[in-house]
Structure 1
Amino acid sequence: MQLLDLIETYNAQDATAERLYAREGRRVRGGRNTPQYKQSLLEAARLYEGVLSGRLPGHRLAEAMTTSDFSLLFGDIIDRQMLASYQHMPVMWQSIAKRGRVRDFRTVDRFAVNGGEAVLSEVKEASEYPAASVSDARYQYQVKKYGKRLPFSWESFINDDLDALRDMPQRLANSARFSEERFVTDLFAGTTGPDGTFFASGNNNIVTANPALSVAGLTTAFTVLAAQVDTDGNPIYLGNVILVVPPALKITANNILNATEILAADGGGDGTGNNQLRVANWLKNDVSVVVDPWLPIVSTTNGNTSWYLFADPNVGRPAMEIGFLSGHETPELFMKSPNATRVGGGTVDPMDGDFDTDAIDHKVRHVFGGVLLDPKSGVASNGTGS
């Protein structure tokens, strides 16, 4: 069969994967709808099927693979290309949780001292000063070890002319990062929305009536959060607050915070027409938006409507702490060292694999833990309006 007028030709020495496929496949000249192309494709498919089924000897395929026309045609059948990796969102949890450090795997204590800051009482002449009471609170957690392996055969890497397996270490690192994000979301969210123990009526940190995210809902949330007081009845200074929303509420949140004006009915009347107040959007100066893509995954019910308001973890007492093992505070990536020695000496490349199986093994290890701390530093709404 004469295909020189239809396809590019390489000799056997030049028929490399880079030249044949160029990472995205080379196209056959003349297009796929020409009679010559269809006939060539049929012959190649028959040959390939014959070898696989055993009707034809394997050397027939090997011989065909060395010819330039079949190499290009086979490449066009496969039409191979590597798709780009997913684009991942930036790290979320550091905006709402304090970062801690622990020495070992034993349970660690985090203490909070309350009291002793009440407004001073008048002391009459010759009277005894009143005693103040102080109490403490204790929070406990321990870090745990997380990890996984990605073993591959030596043959897989040899055949990997598209470099599909070369980013395995990066994939393990991404896995560790996702584990952090999922862990933090699991702390403050449950299957039906905000965690029912942390966000509870007894803690006075549920946004009244669970409103949907709106200017009115945020106003109510600010009111609830600002109403929190310490054990001595003193107001708690919040500073900037962080609004945490699922991806479904990202547009709503940003529209609220980036609006130039807010129309309010606080001027009296029914809030329509001339009774409305037009005020500059003060929310954009006091609120930062964080989108947590894990919320609808963790909260299978109300995950797309729930929203949270947390105090800045760098100001005052944070709502939660995430701790990492000292000296191991970032994901650690490993590759198994070769357990073989070349006859005659010489360094063994780790990519040569294990002595017994030629396996090439990567591993990631990450050690972390965390705990919810002060419920006075956050409020939440499941967004259902009930």
Structure 2
Amino acid sequence: MSKLIVDGELMLYGPVGFTDFWDESGFTSSQVIEALAQLSGDLVVRLNSGGGIAMEGSAIHNALKRHDGRVIVKIDAIAASAASLIAMAGDEIEMPLGTLLMIHEPSGMTLGPADDHRRTAGVLDTMTGVFAQVYAERTGHSEKEIRRMMKDETWMAPQEALANGFATSVSEHAPTASAADAAFDYRTYANAPDRLKRLATERKAKGLPMVAVASAPHKRKELTMTEPNVAPVDDQATTNLQDVNSRIYQLCTTAKMTLAEANKIVLNAKGELAKAQTMIINHLADQDPMGGRVTSHNPMADSNCSVMVARDIEDALYARIAGKPAQGRASEWQGRSLLDMGAALLEARGERVISRNRNRLATQIMSSGATHSTSDFPFVTGNAANRFLLDAYRAAETPLKQLARIRNAANFKAMTIGRMSEMPKLEEVLEGAEITYGTRSEAKETYRVKTYAKMFGISREALINDDLDAFSDTLRAFGQAAAQTEADLIADLLLDNGGLGPLLDDDVTLFANARGNKAVTASAMTISSVSDGRKSLRDQKGLDNETPLSLRPQFLLVGSGNETTGEQIIAAITPSATDDVNPFSGKLSLLVDPRLEEDAWRLFASPDQAPILEIAYLNGVEQPKLETREGWNTLGTEFRAILDFGCGITGWRGAYLNEGV
């Protein structure tokens, strides 16, 4: 049974995305998914967290949204930052009096050159947009308003959260948790309440890192944290010493040292951080069977070096996979073997290359991925591979996507596409008369996002033989396959029921004579027949069957058999007489897809004016993504390409079909 399950409830206490070293609180997305697999039906989630890793919070939110029963989230003390995103997954969100909820913009830290910082800024912008959509969908506020609240770092008591749509109920009983999650230094939050900031002040006064977490309402292991007996000199010296001791404890936590070992380091360091760093590194070296030791160390310099080397090698690998010349610093790695690159990454990270034997070196390079560092060779290779995969995907993208409106999907549940009719006309109001209510009709369609994926690997033999040809060919094929998958799914919608499209919610196909969006008599594509199609779009009425939409065709969609004729239809010519003028010159964009029928042709209005198709990607990731892991089925590194994609029909107004001859 998962440790997160207590009395049939899911207990999410402590940091989001990692387990706290000192009292083993905290939770990760993989732990939550494992726990959910052991639960079914309606679920109570108890939440007390000051936040953590943003994308872990997003993964947990999506896992809860996929649960097969109702999810009741009870905020036992605090749900801040990433934890507030988790709370939004609840069908019900309960906040007792005295609890808090906070939303803000995601933040991050980058070590590296300017391009790395810009790349991180772009990722943070994307994350802010995705999270804002989650909050907006939950609360009914506009994304613009939500973004303002996130930028302002908005803290909400229960009544405020209820009024703003972030909670569904407020209970008057006391919060289950006696105190908020104290694993975070709330002083880093701009607008944190004073009582939360005092948690940090109290812990700092003890010379301890910010790791204590409020106990959950069930039996937990109690830790007694003792402080080294270091005599103070004066108030300022004591403050400085406490800051240094706190930093040393944090380093010991990262090094997975026990509390007794950390206390020993603090006592022996006597307030000298550099000395403590050397002792911690020597402690780690003692755990190494090779037994290496150091006398001094600058971890920041090593980290910066490894990041820069990793970036240069990634650029060089990308250029090699893509068959392009490497640019800038990456050109220094052009012509170097894969083994040379892998060994350089190990050395830049401070690891010893255990052997120059090619077989053993390849094994060491491949197994470095177990540390999950951004300078691991599998990670660097994965980044380069993902860039090339996206190049191949974008080069093969179907023109059919130009017909569609793009939507973000928060989960894999069915999405409803609601359509409201046009507003009724404004009516004259006579003096003293009442203003009457107008009514709008409604229609809807549904579809959902599905996952499409395949796995492949780069073997240890390929690394030893310095062979990336098969790897690049596979990546290109995967990128093209992702684009073709999207094209197949969209084309299948149009070709359903013999080219008439799927049945909509009124049990009539997308294209039908009864709708007035299908030619009564099939005909070849000519200026005259295209003109008839344009008139059909212009004459379409809204959902109220009264309001003229006056739609203008923007796209002419044909199969490969009609491509030349389509080019002639939209070609610009210099007429010698009025009758020779081409009315469609420069007014239509030709889209060609060989999946479509040889003779049939279709007109579409702009998706901004009258969308017919809608495509959706999970969490706004509008492309395939590549994930890596150390090989299990193969000796090497395994990759899997994943595409979370769905498409559906939003309505029938805005398109016209002529089956052709």
TM-score bin, normalised by smaller chain: 0.5 to 0.7
Partners of 1:116 and 1:232 within 8 A in 2: no
Counterpart position of 1:101:
408
Cα separation, 2, equivalents of 1:210 and 1:226: 20
Distance 1:221 1:261, change over 3 A: farther
Matches within 5 A, 1:73-152: 90-118=397-425, 120-121=426-427, 128-151=434-457
Cα separation, 2, equivalents of 1:327 and 1:205: 32
Cα separation, 2, equivalents of 1:159 and 1:293: 40
* 1:216 counterpart = 2:528: yes
Counterpart position of 2:499:
193
Cα separation, 1, equivalents of 2:635 and 2:397: 37
After superposition, what is the alpha-carbon deviation per residue over 1:162-206, rounded to whole angstroms, capped at 9, x for unaligned?
823433222212111111111111112236333261001222210
Q: Secondary structure at the match of 2:453?
A: strand
Give the deviation of 1:153 after TM superposition: 5.7
Distance 1:284 1:236, change over 3 A: same
Amino acid corresponding to residue 657 of structure 2 in structure 1 = A
* 1:367 counterpart = 2:644: yes
Partners of 1:194 and 1:381 within 8 A in 2: no
Counterpart position of 1:260:
573
Cα separation, 2, equivalents of 1:232 and 1:200: 16
Q: Secondary structure at the match of 1:202?
A: helix
Counterpart position of 2:592:
291
Give the deviation of 1:116 after TM superposition: 3.0
From the CA coordinates, give the structure whose radius of gyration is larger. Answer: 1
Amino acid corresponding to residue 223 of structure 1 in structure 2 = K
Distance 1:239 1:201, change over 3 A: closer
Cα separation, 1, equivalents of 2:428 and 2:472: 73
Distance 1:379 1:240, change over 3 A: closer
Counterpart position of 1:246:
559
Counterpart position of 1:204:
516
Cα separation, 2, equivalents of 1:357 and 1:128: 77
Amino acid corresponding to residue 294 of structure 1 in structure 2 = R
Partners of 2:533 and 2:656 within 8 A in 1: yes
Counterpart position of 1:305:
599
**Range with bigger deviation, 231-240 or 221-230:** 231-240
Cα separation, 2, equivalents of 1:117 and 1:261: 44
Distance 1:124 1:166, change over 3 A: closer
Counterpart position of 1:169:
475
Partners of 2:457 and 2:634 within 8 A in 1: no
Counterpart position of 2:546:
233
Partners of 1:199 and 1:375 within 8 A in 2: yes
Give the deviation of 1:326 after TM superposition: 0.9
Cα separation, 1, equivalents of 2:581 and 2:589: 17
Matches within 5 A, 1:305-344: 305-314=599-608, 316-336=609-629, 338=630
Give the deviation of 1:253 after TM superposition: 0.3
Counterpart position of 2:654:
377
Partners of 2:537 and 2:552 within 8 A in 1: no
Cα separation, 2, equivalents of 1:335 and 1:163: 19
Distance 1:161 1:115, change over 3 A: closer
The percentage of aligned residue pairs carrying the same residue is 26
Give the deviation of 1:378 after TM superposition: 0.3
Cα separation, 2, equivalents of 1:327 and 1:373: 19
Equivalenced residues, count? 264
Please, what TM-score do these two structures have when normalized by structure 1?
A: 0.61
Counterpart position of 2:169:
none
Give the deviation of 1:290 after TM superposition: 0.5
Q: Secondary structure at the match of 1:289?
A: strand
Q: Secondary structure at the match of 1:172?
A: helix
Partners of 2:570 and 2:588 within 8 A in 1: yes
Partners of 1:100 and 1:324 within 8 A in 2: yes
Q: Secondary structure at the match of 1:225?
A: helix
Partners of 2:417 and 2:446 within 8 A in 1: yes
Cα separation, 2, equivalents of 1:160 and 1:218: 57
Give the deviation of 1:281 after TM superposition: 1.6
Amino acid corresponding to residue 176 of structure 1 in structure 2 = A
Counterpart position of 2:193:
none
Counterpart position of 1:268:
none
**Range with bigger deviation, 317-326 or 205-214:** 205-214
Give the deviation of 1:365 after TM superposition: 0.5
**Structure 1: where are the runs of 5+ without partners?**
1-84, 264-275, 296-302, 339-352
Larger relative strand fraction:
1
Give the deviation of 1:209 after TM superposition: 0.7
Q: Which has the higher contact order (CA 8 A, sep 6+)?
A: 1
Give the deviation of 1:113 after TM superposition: 1.2
Cα separation, 2, equivalents of 1:167 and 1:305: 35
Cα separation, 2, equivalents of 1:239 and 1:360: 52
Q: Secondary structure at the match of 1:190?
A: helix
Distance 1:379 1:262, change over 3 A: farther
Larger relative helix fraction:
2
Amino acid corresponding to residue 550 of structure 2 in structure 1 = Y
Distance 1:127 1:241, change over 3 A: same
Partners of 1:322 and 1:370 within 8 A in 2: yes
Give the deviation of 1:115 after TM superposition: 4.2
Measured on the aligned residues, the alpha-carbon RMSD in Å equals 3.1
Partners of 1:188 and 1:372 within 8 A in 2: no
Partners of 1:207 and 1:380 within 8 A in 2: yes
